[in-house]
Chains A and B, each alone.
Chain A
Amino acid sequence: MAIITTTKGDMDESLLEKREGNVDNDHEATTWVEYWLEGELVHRSAHVTLKQPATFAGGETASFS
Chain B
Amino acid sequence: MANTQTMCTSFLGELMSAQHQFGASTITSRTSLTSPTGDTFKGALYLASATMNATATVYTATGEVSGTGYTAGGVTVATATTPLTSNTSITAGVGYVTPSANFIYTTVTLSTAFDAVLFYNNTQSNKAVSVHTFGSQTITAGTFTLTQPSNTSSTALIRLATT
Contacts and interface: CB of A to CB of B under 8 A. Distances in A.
**Do chains A and B stick together as partners?**
yes
Contact of A30 (B134, B143, B162): B134
A24 B12 CA distance: 31
Contact of A7 (B12, B140, B144): B140
Interface majority SS (helix, strand, loop, mixed), chain A: strand
Interface stretch (B23-31, B58-66, B74-82, B149-157): B149-157
Nearest to B142: A45
Given A5-B142, A44-B140, 18 more contacts: A7-B141, A27-B134, A28-B135, A44-B142, A45-B144, A48-B135, A48-B146, A49-B147, A53-B96, A53-B159, A54-B130, A54-B158, A55-B7, A56-B7, A56-B12, A57-B161, A57-B163, A59-B163
Interface of B: 5-7, 12, 96, 107, 109, 130-135, 137-149, 155-163
Interface of A: 5-7, 23, 27-28, 30, 32-34, 41-60
9 contacts: A27-B134, A47-B147, A48-B144, A48-B146, A50-B157, A55-B161, A58-B161, A58-B163, A59-B163
